[in-house]
Amino acid sequence: MKRLILTIVLASATLLCASANDAAGKRGRTAAVAEESDRDYWAGLAYRIAAPLLSNMSRGELQKNMIPEVSPRWDGRTEKVTYMEAFGRLMAGIAPWLALPDDDTPESAMRSQLREWALKSYANAVDPESPDYLLWKGHDQALVDAAYIAESFMRAPKTFWEPLDEVTKQRYIACFQGLRCINPPYSNWLMFGATVETFLMQVGAEYDALRIYIGVRKVEEWYVGDGLYSDGPNYAQDYYNAYVIQPMYLDIIEELVARKAWRIEPGWGPRALLRMQRYAEILERFISPEGTFPAVGRSITYRMAAFQPLAQLAWRRQLPAALPGGQVRAALTAVMKRMFSVEGNFNEAGFLTLGFAGHQPGITDGYTNNGSVYLTSLVFLPLGLPADDPFWTDAPQDWTAKKAWSGAEFPKDTSLEKRR
């Protein structure tokens, strides 16, 4: 009976995923078919992205069946970094969704299957006897994607850390501690080391306090105003505030404030949150009436990860007052549908391809592979809210640019510093 239910659910998921390839505004459903909700669309797309990766890795067959696709300007590192990038980045985005309790809905059956695959994948990732043992040594990139794996544990500890057997836990701790031989550049990379060490601190393992402290102090020094940080000493117009800096910095700072650690003042947590909220307002205004956003800066192949601050704040129920949940949901759904309606986002095996909207390898950076692009999964954080949360049930609203370009009233924008 369970197998039959799952077969029905997977067929349903396939239909949901197919709708992700339809044009955003396409109509033609018959009156007899219920209109797909935004949450159904998000869940179907998340499943489509996650299932090929986790189903293979749970069997120890990811490295057998996911063929690396690397940038035409590939920097020469081993292509085996692909698998750690794909797994860590995927789980950092969907862990809260898979942590929801089971119920009798088709979505729950999808979550249950992904959760089962994910737990097996976590074990395989650190099992030296598994064909899908990840490449934890011999390259600096391991620090980056270990941080996303650690972040996935931090975002759903009771679902993905606590159920692991003691051997697997100790393997992760040893792998994380072994990354201290990597000397990160003075850039967003400081957040990766700090995140790994913060996770070790949370689980009571030996951790390097200096790596955390230097990371947060440097990011604080790099604040340039109006909710933005530079990525190192010099500012660049890209989405690294969204991909890495703001989400990891906020999580680390709040953990340190809660522990009354070192010289971190209590006001740092609220201040970091306020800055992220301002940055979220800016990101929301980037979304055009047509559901597009500027393809600017490096790593643009990370697709929807550009909106991680909006997604994270929605999941935490901390969106700024200027951004109602129904408005944010409508805006992000419009971008998803616009982006994933383009042919070429997935290859024949179901894995994501190099590109922004479709298959566009020419826009990649020298470090980009088809594992890197699973960072797009970070937009799915609001799926960690239950289906009856106001974020999902509130009526959709026009987002700022849609109001502005239709002649409707819309809020005047004000910099963060001028509000004080």
| Mean pLDDT on 171-179 | 98
pTM given for the model: 0.92
pLDDT band at 69 (very low <50, low <70, confident <90, very high): very high
Handedness of CA 93, 98, 99, 104 (dihedral sign): positive
pLDDT at residue 15, rounded to an integer: 43
Kindly report which listed range (18-27, 33-42, 183-192) carries the lowest average pLDDT score. Answer: 18-27
Distance of CA 98 to the CA centre of its chain: 13
DSSP 205: -
pLDDT at 6 over 50: no
Query: Which residues make Cβ contacts (< 8 Å) with residue 388, sequence separation at least 6?
Result: none
pLDDT digits (tens, 9 = 90+) for 323-362: 999 999 999 999 999 999 999 999 999 999 999 999 999 9
Instruction: Return the higher-pLDDT residue of 143 and 18.
Output: 143
pLDDT band at 28 (very low <50, low <70, confident <90, very high): very low
pLDDT at 199 over 60: yes
pLDDT at residue 30, rounded to an integer: 40
| Mean pLDDT on 249-269 | 89
| Mean pLDDT on 49-58 | 98
pLDDT digits (tens, 9 = 90+) for 260-305: 887 788 889 999 999 999 999 999 999 999 999 999 999 999 999 9
pLDDT at 7 over 50: no
| Mean pLDDT on 24-40 | 60
What domains are there in the chain, each with its CATH number? 2-18+35-419 (1.50.10)
pLDDT digits (tens, 9 = 90+) for 212-239: 999 999 999 999 999 999 999 999 999 9
pLDDT at 20 over 80: no
How many angstroms separate the CA atoms of 375 and 47, rounded? 15
How many angstroms separate the CA atoms of 270 and 201, rounded? 22
pLDDT at 18 over 90: no
pLDDT digits (tens, 9 = 90+) for 358-379: 999 999 999 999 999 999 999 9
pLDDT at 67 over 50: yes
pLDDT at residue 114, rounded to an integer: 98
Residue 19, both tokens: 């709708």
Backbone angles phi, psi at 101, to 5 degrees: -65, 155
pLDDT at residue 34, rounded to an integer: 61
Residue 49 Cα distances to 233, 315, 332, 345, 406, angstroms: 35, 20, 17, 10, 34
Mean pLDDT of the residues in the chain: 92
Closest C-alpha among 116, 20, 136, 47 to residue 380: 47
How many angstroms separate the CA atoms of 355 and 345, rounded? 7
How many angstroms separate the CA atoms of 391 and 247, rounded? 20
- At 131 the three-state DSSP class reads coil
Q: Percent of the chain, pLDDT > 70?
A: 92
pLDDT at residue 47, rounded to an integer: 98
pLDDT digits (tens, 9 = 90+) for 238-247: 999 999 999 9
pLDDT at residue 2, rounded to an integer: 40
